[in-house]
Structure 1
Amino acid sequence: MKKLILLLSLLILIPFVSADHHKDDRGDMRMKMWQAKLKVDLAELKGPPALSQLEKKKANRLADLDLLINSGKYKEGELKRIKDMREKLMERELPSQEMLNERHDRRLKMAQSKMRSRGEMMHKKHRNEARNRDMRDRNQWERRNRPRRK
């Protein structure tokens, strides 16, 4: 009798446990959407980076590469690659402020578009057009091929 009660209670509780497992999916998506919105809002408020910031970044990268080159830890092949990286960085020209502004605007538009499409995806989650079309086709086929009444 105890085994029967245990078995019945397990059969009753298993669906609740599995349903609870899938409950967090909506919250995760909402959290990701909220984090994406925060990133977009922050980028809008900060604006595009200034040219002086890029110059500082480039100088810091060059200093780091110089430090690696002068450390003596790297052998010929690795040292050559690091020197090539430094050369490429030196040759690279910094973009103008107008280009930085355009790049910033483009990234904002892409992020906003991605957020919009995720939101639409959440609303259309249960409205699968392909599934609805298949159901309509199946119903039409069944109506055409059902046996005639006499």
Structure 2
Amino acid sequence: MRISPTKFISLLFFIFSVFYLYTAHQIVVFTFDENAPFNARTFPIYLGWAGIFFSGLKIVLPEKVPTEVDHKYLDYKSIIYLILVSIIYGAVILKVGYFLSTSLFLIVSYYLLGERRWLWMFLLSFPFVAIFMFLLHGVLNIYLRDPLLKYLGIIG
């Protein structure tokens, strides 16, 4: 019996979602937030259950059109580079800070995915990360550690 690529990827995503749900339950929550309707664990737990549900559906339900993958057209080099960039991003985000590391991660990812218009790459990284940081810091009062912005005096 041969498993289709879609079912195999769904199985991998199912396993990843189970692991993610397990780690989401390990998130430490302040004692006063333990019984709150929304805390640091809430969204990751729901996200883990959603991943398990949808990938489980994809595994169980039959495929209408089976997919055939021609491996000679797949760009494995870009996939490996994206994985390496993601690992580097995870390793440097605490040292460099959220704003700069996320913006550079997005620019490098856009480039690896084939985008070559530098203006669009810049506009879709730095301003969007800045807007997202403003929403987190200014509106939701969620603090993200950022040594660069603290050094520049933008955040306290």
- Provide the TM-score with structure 2 as the length reference: 0.27
Q: Which protein has the bigger helix share?
A: 1
Q: Which structure has more RCO (C-alpha within 8 Å, separation ≥ 6)?
A: 1
- Provide the TM-score with structure 1 as the length reference: 0.27
